[in-house]
Structure formats: C-alpha cells, structure tokens
Amino acid sequence: MASVSIYLNFDGDAEEAFNHYKKVFGTEFLAPIMRMKDAPPHPAAPPLTDDDKEKVMHVGLPILGGMIIMATDILPSMGQQLVEGNNFTISLNPDTREEADILYQKLSEGVTDGVPPHEEFWGYWGTCKDRFGIRWMFNIMNPM
C-alpha cells in the first residue's frame, strides 16, 4: 500500500536524535539501524572513513497516526553540507515503479536537481527538488 513519510538529514547525530524520538513517541525502530558500512561501496566514490562507516545510512520510526519519520547522516567527507532547507525530504512510497516514474516526471518538471528513479541495492529509488524548492524522494523497497 502506498504511503508517505518524512525523511530527515542529520549532521552526524541521527542515531542520538532517533533514540530520543523513540522515547518521546514510545515506539520502536521499524528495522535495525542501517550504517553506511552496510552499503556496498560505490565505484565512483572514495572509500569511507572509519567515522563515516558508523554513521546512519537509514533508520525509520513510526510516530503518530501511521506517520513514519526516517533519517540519514550527511557525509561532509563526500562534499555534503547540512543547511536549513536540505534537512528534510518528503518520501513517497508508491505501489509501482510506473507510479514513481510518473510522480518524478511531474515533480521534477522544469528543474535540473534530481536523480531519476532507478534500481539500487535496496529497491527502486530517486529524488528531486521541485520548482518550489521542496525535496521529494521516491522509494519502492525490494521484497524481503
């Protein structure tokens, strides 16, 4: 079933923040925290530092009314910088790849800041910033 969640970016303290949110909302993570070291190395990227390997790649936590917040740590060593405005993304989890492609096409119309949906090791994923400056993510997880 399709769903929407909010994806948050942190400057190295995603785990601390989400442990706090877990206490606040009295809920549990959807799955164990995925670390940067858990991802296969990207051939075009430099190797991760030992510190970066331990940073959060992905965490999800239900909060209220079925809403889920998710997060990642940014990697300054990879040129990423956290600034107000890029610290959140609306994550759309459509039912099909075709729906993800259509949503991407419509939301990215007239802009150049985007990565079209494509296969990743966890599923079908893409992202864009729309003409109003809002970041959107498209994600369809592979079956487990």
Q: Model pTM greater than 0.85?
A: no
Count of domains forming the chain: 1
Q: Residue 65: left (phi > 0), alpha (psi -120 to 50), or beta?
A: left
Could you list the residue range(s) of the whole structural domain that residue 132 is in?
A: 86-144
Model confidence at 22, pLDDT cuts 50, 70, 90, reads very high
What letter does residue 52 receive in the DSSP assignment? H
CATH of the domain at 111: 3.30.720.110
Does 28 fall in a domain? no
Does 124 fall in a domain? yes
Greater confidence, 88 or 18?
18
Give the model confidence (pLDDT) of 74-86 as tens digits: 998 888 888 877 7
pLDDT at 84 (0 to 100): 74
**Counting Cβ atoms within 10 Å, is residue 19 exposed (0-12), middle (13-18) or buried (19+)?**
middle
Does 40 fall in a domain? no
